Amino acid sequence: MQDLFNSPSGEKFNILEVVSAIIDFMEKDEKRSYKITIGTDSEILPDKTADFVTAVVIHRIGNGGRYFWRRKTFGNFYNLRDRIISEVLLSLDIGKEILTEFKKLINTKWNNSGPNWSFEIHVDVGENGETKSMIQEVVGMIRAYNFEAITKPRSYAASNIADRYV
């Protein structure tokens, strides 16, 4: 069974449908700037497995946005570092898929023109708390894939949207 994303209204989307919905959202106001963000948050469960939620967000700068989310549960996690690394890897995997399909469709639709947009990976780590020592490591992982990394307090895709569904 393929992994489906949910919308806040309960609709289900595969990855191509998410990308199409993002482009449809951008088409409604092509003169605006957009930010596509991916972020994952997780929670440890009593059996030491972890519940991971990845959010895909399209933000029309200054005028709203839309998001989609997906849940996965994975094996045994005994420390925070392993969970954070898994969050980053999930975000990177989805980010690569979304960006690949997005570039195909956007080039077909707008032929290298169209709205101004940027792409970010949001990570649930920050200067305060247990994850402080991991910032450099996870930001380095994300930059190695040529993505921009955003950490707390600006990492709303992971820290707010994905967190809502964990």
56-102 pLDDT, tens digit per residue, is 999 999 999 999 999 999 988 878 999 999 999 999 999 999 999 99
Contact call for residues 158 and 91 (beta carbons, < 8 A): yes
What are φ and ψ of residue 144, in 5° steps? -60, -25
Give the chain's residues under pLDDT 50: 1
Please report, for residues 76, 81, 115, the alpha-carbon distance to residue 86 in angstroms, rounded to integers and kept in the order given. Answer: 12, 9, 32
**Measured on CA atoms in the order 140, 141, 145, 149, is the torsion positive or negative?**
negative
Query: Is residue 5 within 8 Å of residue 70, measured between CB atoms?
Result: yes
How many structural domains comprise the chain?
1
Domain span at 104: 5-165
Whose tokens are 């200054």? That residue is 62
> What per-residue confidence (pLDDT) applies to 112?
65
> Which of these, 93, 118, 123, lies nearest to 106 by C-alpha position?
118
Give the per-residue pLDDT at 1: 43
The greatest distance separating any two alpha carbons of the chain, rounded to the nearest whole angstrom, comes to: 50
- CA Rg value for the chain: 16
Given the structure tokens 């996870």, which residue do they identify?
138
Per the CB < 8 A criterion, the answer to whether 117 and 36 are in contact is: yes
**What is the pLDDT, as a whole number, of residue 2?**
60
Strands (E), the chain: 5-6, 12-13, 33-44, 50-60, 65-74, 116-122, 148-150
Q: Are 147 and 95 in contact (CB under 8 A)?
A: yes
